[in-house]
Structure 1
Amino acid sequence: MDADAPNPSITLSKKEFWALWLTLFLIAYNISVISPVMPLLVRELNTSIGYIQSALVLFSLVTASFAPTSENLCRFYGRERIFLGGLLLYGLGIVAMALSPTIGFWVVSFSLLTGLAATPLVSAPWSIMDFAYDGKQEEQATVAFILASVIGGLSGSLLGGFIASHFGWRWSFTPSLIVFVLVMVMGRTLPSTSVPRKVPIDWVGGLVSFLGFGSILLGVGLAGEYGWWKPKQVFSIAGLVIPPFAVSIVPTLISVGVICLGFFAVWQRQQQQPAGIPLMRVGLLRNAVFVNGLLTAMLHTLVTSGIQFNLYQSLPIILPLNPFQTAIAVLPYTLTMVVVVVLLLKRLKIDQQLFPKYLVHIGLSLLIVGLLAMYWAIAPDMTTLSILPALMLMGMGSGLFSVYIGRLTYATTSKREKPEGTGIYNPCQQLGSSLGRGILGTILITSASIDVVDQVAQLMGLSLSSEQRLNAITALQRMVQTFSKQERREALARVLPEPVMAQLPEVARLAAVEGMKIALLVAIAVSVVCLLLSTQLPKRGRRRP
């Protein structure tokens, strides 16, 4: 019997269903709470926003890279055992994050412990639902699971941010611990969906693929802080400068990653011989429809997560908003998306009149229109109402896209491949979210820093050399990523004359507007690529991923 063959007699009690629902809520909360606590985390652990962004990228990378190995473990020990083991590891990671004395300890706790644990936790609810429900029950469970992630994300931004601002960032993980205990109590008796099968686990392939993807994505995450080629600052570990020549650490990491992935490809080819068991099932990864849908969904997540992250960074500068008010200002996007998802799955059956592929196209088109509206709405004299129509258009587009992209992605996968596919699909969306924050966030901070330095130099009548200008931009970027608003003002007041300091808020406001516009143009370009990729998807697919 196949390791993931469905059990026709499986039933899911209400307690077990809510255990799965809370699991998805827990993952979403723990990721989304990082954005509002980031400034406090940076100050207390003496780090930078760039490092936190890299930790987010690393988390998603670990989760995505571990997906094939996680499926091997499920076939070896059984999915339910791996789920409970992952849950225990996730709880340990949450406690370690809250008690972290240094940034290194925090990164290990968040990126490695919770990253590894999140892989089976994300895929198990959807896999178990496949076996437990059908028809109308399946649609209702789909709505509930989508809402679990959305509500978890909202709770992390709002509740987590509120707790962090009033009691400290460590206390913001208290809701995570409470939900973790609830899941442990309610999920101990999850039904079995598979028969364990003793197959070798490809640890070498898993390690090499992790190192390859990790090096490349870590390099991308550090590009804003260390430079793409010419080093903005020296990268060193225990006093050892890496690399030992005048090149940024970024191309070094990317080169190492490419070499590791080349070795991984050779290793997988050897493992496909009769004597070996490959880490990844070639049939699934050669499925053009699945891979195309995976990339399309990941680019969509990159755009939406990146733009939301940039709004959290730029709106407090353009408008006099605190973190909680900023979260409220961005909230219409998520609320609109939730309304659209619920209406499409519970009330409106427009997929009976239009092919799901065309609905995905409409969704991406609405997203692009929303981004264009956001581009024109962002201005020095804007208000929170100025971006409301743009956020609602983006929410409508993302809602349409989210409901149907999964069906098309899984259109040509078999029931046996669904658990592994889900284990890859969901972590890759988290990876897209981290890349969006890293890439679009870097564009915003870099562009704004360049504008501020140039405007301040012009106000002071200075003519900076290329080296002086680069050093000033790098210093300002580090200040933006590390200092609080008051600390930045005090540090700048020590080096800038009072007339310039008086004009600095307006300079910063204009720079944030221009940086946001540049990031939006990049997001629009990526969205167009996403739309073009979606044209290769099938017209119809499964009713749910």
Structure 2
Amino acid sequence: MPATDSQPTSVIQRWTLAAVLAATAILMLDIAVVNTALPTLQIDLNTDLHALKWVLDAYTLALASVVLTAGSLADRYGRRKLFAVGVAVFTVSSAAAAFSGSIEFLIAARAVQGLGAALMFAVSLALLSNAFRSPAERTQAFAAYGATIGASFALGPFVGGVLTEWAGWEWVFLLNVPIGVVLLAITASKLVESSDPNPPKIDIPGQVTLVGGLFGLVYGLLNAAEDGWSAPHVIVALAAGAGLMTAFITIEATSRNPMVPLGMFRDRRFAGAQIAALAISAGLFSTFIYIMVYLQEMRGYSPIEAGLFLVPGTMFNLFCAAATAQLGKRVEPVVLIAGGLGLAAIGMVISAFTITADASWLQLQVGLVIAMIGTGLFNPAVSEAALDVPEHQAGLATGIHDTARQTGIAVGIAALGTLISSTDYVGSLQTLFLVGGAIGAVGAIAALYLFRGPRGSVPAAAPEGAAA
């Protein structure tokens, strides 16, 4: 029997928080642990770097493309129900990924995983908001939510290395199955259903053009790295992607019920936060796949050693993220956002000059640690700025913000991959870090520009946003 409001509020809150944190942990871990397992997976499935990029991009593309629609579906049909569907899809597709006999099947399973992840992620904050009603309670619940994300990213590389080396890459995905089964039981018996009495209409034209546009761009960029920019299928894919993304913007600007009310971007700080999130995802986070290949294939690190390599940076990331709670009271958010993004860019430039065929462990750490210090300062501040909207738009703002992050990773992996050369991997990796640093620097400058002056106004309803 599902939980009801007749149960003590504290009991409902505890179960809701446990379910959301467990779901968040496996979502974040699934991004971090897979990076470490990719070189081993490449050998076992007899594939290449091109296909490995799709293993990551299939997941992030699906998540980025449908997370906003997933939130609308949850508002209409019930958040607990959609959360359960997301957990079930994620769990089954994780098992399918673990038993993949080919790289093509694994990529398909990862795409389905991304759909389940979108449902889980889109509903998580709404479930917390419904269970924790007072501002003080929500602050504590959201703090635990943020800490779970940070801890999952910190532990992910090491967990992925241990599972890959001691049990096999399949266990990177099988780990999700028992957690998913327990989550389903908790969701069905302990969580309370909630929905929006006046749910927004589903923006089907916007959804279709967004999925097609992002897929076209990523497909074109990934294949440009293999077949060259002049290949006919590359030109067609990039042109179709650009055309569909233009159509998406046009639809959102004229629709009465847009999935992304463009008027929200009249708020300079909201717009600046999305550009900054896109920049750090495309410039820094999308490089981790190439770092793992370098460490394991170029330097001979084992999966565990490669996972441990990222631990110092992630620890600095966590420490600096915790410090922003006090720093945020003394400085403006733009200082942490632009400053953190600037440090991430500096760290990447340093890495470009220290990554060589025989660089020492300490030399390799310098740039990465500086970049992760910047990330620790950046993440809490940019999330706070992105969600500093009227309460009725908090869920929408969360979806837009995560779409920006996941889109940055998906497009970044594809775009930066065009710089990688199989004949000179180390040299091309240096160029990749310079370009990634430039992306971060542009994002920092854009944030400084957009955060200065009056913040503008956020429209109260979708039609106003569409009119804008």
TM-score of Structure 1 vs Structure 2, range by shorter chain: 0.7 to 0.9
Distance in 1 separating the partners of 2:248 and 2:363 = 49
SS of the residue corresponding to residue 147 of structure 2 reads helix
Would the aligned equivalents of 1:77 and 1:197 in 2 still touch at CA under 8 Å?
Answer: no
Tell me which amino acid in the other structure corresponds to 2:310: V
Distance in 1 separating the partners of 2:115 and 2:51 = 19
Distance in 1 separating the partners of 2:46 and 2:365 = 36
Shift of 1:163: 2.2
Shift of 1:190: 2.6
Distance in 1 separating the partners of 2:415 and 2:349 = 19
Tell me which amino acid in the other structure corresponds to 2:32: S
* Aligned residue runs from structure 1 range 340-359, under 5 A: 340-345=320-325, 349-359=326-336
* Aligned residue runs from structure 1 range 440-479, under 5 A: 440-443=416-419, 445-446=420-421, 449-451=422-424
Q: Which region of structure 1 is more displaced relative to structure 2, 189-198 or 64-73?
A: 189-198
Largest Rg, 1 or 2? 1
Matched, 1:308 2:285: no
Matched, 1:435 2:411: yes
SS of the residue corresponding to residue 417 of structure 1 reads helix
Match of 2:271 among 291, 295, 305: 291
Would the aligned equivalents of 2:155 and 2:311 in 1 still touch at CA under 8 Å?
Answer: no
Shift of 1:450: 4.2
* CA shift in 2, pair 1:299/1:282, >3 Å: closer
Tell me which amino acid in the other structure corresponds to 2:323: L
Cross-structure match for 2:3: none
Cross-structure match for 1:370: 347
1:48-67: CA deviation from partner (whole Å, max 9, x where unpaired): 22123134223222222213
Distance in 2 separating the partners of 1:267 and 1:302 = 25
Distance in 2 separating the partners of 1:122 and 1:29 = 13
1:325-371: CA deviation from partner (whole Å, max 9, x where unpaired): 122122211111011112333xxx12222112112222223223322
Cross-structure match for 2:126: 127
* CA shift in 2, pair 1:133/1:403, >3 Å: farther
Shift of 1:537: 4.1
Normalising by structure 2, we get a TM-score of 0.85
Cross-structure match for 2:377: 400
SS of the residue corresponding to residue 284 of structure 2 reads helix
Would the aligned equivalents of 2:77 and 2:195 in 1 still touch at CA under 8 Å?
Answer: no
Would the aligned equivalents of 2:37 and 2:303 in 1 still touch at CA under 8 Å?
Answer: no
Cross-structure match for 2:166: 166
SS of the residue corresponding to residue 276 of structure 2 reads helix
Shift of 1:279: 4.1
Cross-structure match for 2:106: 106
* Aligned residue runs from structure 1 range 236-251, under 5 A: 247=232, 249-251=233-235
Shift of 1:300: 0.7
Would the aligned equivalents of 2:68 and 2:122 in 1 still touch at CA under 8 Å?
Answer: no
Matched, 1:529 2:403: no
Distance in 2 separating the partners of 1:10 and 1:253 = 52
SS of the residue corresponding to residue 352 of structure 1 reads coil
Distance in 1 separating the partners of 2:309 and 2:46 = 29
* Aligned residue runs from structure 1 range 77-92, under 5 A: 77-92=77-92
1:284-339: CA deviation from partner (whole Å, max 9, x where unpaired): 35555423311211211222213333322223455442222122122211111011
Would the aligned equivalents of 1:79 and 1:192 in 2 still touch at CA under 8 Å?
Answer: yes
Matched, 1:418 2:417: no
Tell me which amino acid in the other structure corresponds to 1:385: L
Shift of 1:265: 4.7
Distance in 2 separating the partners of 1:40 and 1:427 = 29
Distance in 2 separating the partners of 1:174 and 1:405 = 33
Give me the CA root mean square deviation: 2.8
Cross-structure match for 1:208: 209
* Aligned residue runs from structure 1 range 256-267, under 5 A: 256-265=240-249, 267=251
* CA shift in 2, pair 1:224/1:281, >3 Å: same
* CA shift in 2, pair 1:55/1:286, >3 Å: farther
* Aligned residue runs from structure 1 range 192-207, under 5 A: 192-197=193-198, 200-207=201-208
Q: How many residues were matched structurally?
A: 444
Would the aligned equivalents of 1:51 and 1:222 in 2 still touch at CA under 8 Å?
Answer: no
Cross-structure match for 1:391: 368
* CA shift in 2, pair 1:528/1:22, >3 Å: same
1:188-238: CA deviation from partner (whole Å, max 9, x where unpaired): 333345434465433343223211221112211222122221x4xxxxxxx
* CA shift in 2, pair 1:408/1:172, >3 Å: closer
Shift of 1:263: 4.2
Distance in 1 separating the partners of 2:199 and 2:72 = 9
Gaps of 5+ in 2: 1-7, 456-468
* CA shift in 2, pair 1:67/1:524, >3 Å: same
Shift of 1:401: 0.4
Tell me which amino acid in the other structure corresponds to 1:354: V
Would the aligned equivalents of 2:320 and 2:376 in 1 still touch at CA under 8 Å?
Answer: yes
1:29-75: CA deviation from partner (whole Å, max 9, x where unpaired): 22223222223433444432212313422322222221332232123
* CA shift in 2, pair 1:336/1:199, >3 Å: closer
Would the aligned equivalents of 2:67 and 2:118 in 1 still touch at CA under 8 Å?
Answer: yes
Shift of 1:27: 0.6
Distance in 2 separating the partners of 1:197 and 1:418 = 16
Q: Which region of structure 1 is more displaced relative to structure 2, 206-215 or 278-287?
A: 278-287
Shift of 1:525: 0.7
Distance in 1 separating the partners of 2:14 and 2:101 = 40
Distance in 2 separating the partners of 1:382 and 1:269 = 51
Normalising by structure 1, we get a TM-score of 0.74
Distance in 2 separating the partners of 1:40 and 1:319 = 14
1:474-504: CA deviation from partner (whole Å, max 9, x where unpaired): xxxxxxxxxxxxxxxxxxxxxxxxxxxxxxx
Distance in 2 separating the partners of 1:127 and 1:199 = 15
